[in-house]
Amino acid sequence: MEDNGISVISNPTVAVRLTSTLSEFESNRRFNRGITIAEFKCKLEMVVGVPSSCMELQLFSTQDKFLLKLEDSDALLGSYPVDDDCRIHVIDRSGGQNEFSDLSKVEKFELPEDAYEKRNDSARSFLKKKKLGRFNEEGQAKQEELKAAAEEKEKAACANITTGSRCQVKVVGQPTKVGTVMYVGTADFKPGSWVGVKYDEPLGKHDGSVNGKRYFECEPKYGAFVKPTSVTVGDFPEEDYLDEM
């Protein structure tokens, strides 16, 4: 309320959002406006894990706009424009980890494979009961069947594609491209059959080399690998792009 132009805060406590440089998470806490900034820092130690002597406090508005630093240790928290839902960001100036952030001190728990197999409340147990994923034998067999059929289709398509042939490439979601077949066969970067193409324009991804292994030669950004089923071999003459304006 207001009395003779003087604002009076009736609520002795304030709820703020807390963030820090030691955590990606935001927490919410309520504090007494009557404590000093020094006392406030001591309370924050157990919340954010930063030593009070190494804290730098920054105050942000409810819309996360930076307002000011809480620097005066003897000043009361309520003397600053700290309102409900404001954010206070704690910066760790210690220059090192502390007991709350050093994960090397945390004892790691590992469940033996045979013990995990016997559990009835595990993700694996759920998948088994519902016959999902790799525990769905019928579904797995169907997937293997589809995979084998796709591989046979790719091999059959490769039989009609020879290096040096002009081609047109149509990949779903991409513009139609024209180029020259430079490579046909398997590759180390992914399983299955692949066709290496040198495009007429710099619409590719590389220069014929992938992961350090060279499959063919071309200029940078002119080379690409596509599935055989996306390639059509035929009379696709190279256009003279120099005549275009």
Write out pLDDT tens, residues 208-237.
Answer: 999 999 999 999 999 999 999 999 999 998
CATH 3.10.20.90 in the chain, residue ranges? 2-92
Distance CA 76, CA 13 (A): 12
Quick check: 165 and 228 in contact, CB under 8 A? no
Indicate the fold that domain 166-237 takes in CATH. SH3 type barrels. (2.30.30)
- pLDDT of residue 109 exceeding 80, the answer is no
CATH 2.30.30.190 in the chain, residue ranges? 166-237
Q: What is the mean pLDDT of the chain?
A: 85
Structure confidence at residue 1 as a pLDDT band (50, 70, 90): very low
**Of 98-102, 136-140, 236-240, the least confident:** 98-102
- pLDDT of residue 107 exceeding 80, the answer is no
DSSP state of 203: -
The backbone torsions φ and ψ at residue 68, rounded to the nearest 5 degrees and listed phi first, read -170, 175
Higher pLDDT, 227 or 241: 227
Does the pTM exceed 0.85? no
**Can you give the pLDDT at residue 59?**
95
Structure confidence at residue 10 as a pLDDT band (50, 70, 90): low
Mean per-residue pLDDT, 197-201? 96
Indicate the fold that domain 2-92 takes in CATH. Ubiquitin-like (UB roll) (3.10.20)
**Can you give the pLDDT at residue 41?**
93
Structure confidence at residue 8 as a pLDDT band (50, 70, 90): very low
Find tokens 């495009």 and name the residue.
Answer: 199
**Can you give the pLDDT at residue 183?**
97
- pLDDT of residue 134 exceeding 70, the answer is yes
* Beta strand pairing call for 166-169 and 86-92: unpaired
Higher pLDDT, 142 or 171: 171
Quick check: 67 and 59 in contact, CB under 8 A? yes
pLDDT cut 90: percent of the chain above it: 53
